[in-house]
Amino acid sequence: MTTTHVRRDDIEERWLLFDATENNLGRMAAKIATALQGKDRPTWTPSERTGAHVVVINGASPKLSGSKGTEKIYRHYSGYPDGQKHVAIEKVAERRAADIVTLAVRRMLPKTRLGRDLLRNLKVYAGAEHPHGAQMPVKVDTL
């Protein structure tokens, strides 16, 4: 048996469409992270970008389970004394609504250069309209 290594020329472009109002945030983010990395394909290569481009619509109002809609808190630490910030999900939703989905996916990707590069393939839109109709994204149901 021989091991094949996929080159950039051999990678086919895929576009996937997720609707944030139909899917739970965590389950959807896990599926998106897997698709961005390309781990859902048999041609996955750890050092190459074999993943898909992902478009998320209705990112302003993702479906949250339980009491996460009121009690979820995002924490950030700057590294300085007294540099820990706590922001409620409601404040994030009113300031930058699409960041809820982006943060969930970003924290599931590898914390490397490749992970930051993969995040560029994620497009999150607050409304139901997106400008990527020409790429004909395939709608994905994660239920």
Structural domains in the chain (count): 1
Specify the pLDDT at position 70. 87
Give domain status of residue 8, yes or no.
Answer: no
- In this prediction, residue 143 has a pLDDT band, given cuts at 50, 70 and 90, of low
Give domain status of residue 52, yes or no.
Answer: yes
Give domain status of residue 107, yes or no.
Answer: yes
- Residue-wise pLDDT for 66-104, tens only, equals 898 889 999 999 999 999 999 999 898 889 888 999 999
Q: Could you tell me the pTM of the whole model?
A: 0.89
Please report, as a single letter, which amino acid is at residue 124.
Answer: V
Domain extent, residue 30, equals: 17-139
State how beta strands 138-139 and 15-19 pair.
parallel
**Residue 117: pLDDT above 80?**
yes
- CATH number of the domain enclosing 79: 3.90.1180.10
- In this prediction, residue 41 has a pLDDT band, given cuts at 50, 70 and 90, of confident
Task: Look at residue 121 and give its three-state secondary structure.
Answer: coil
Give domain status of residue 4, yes or no.
Answer: no
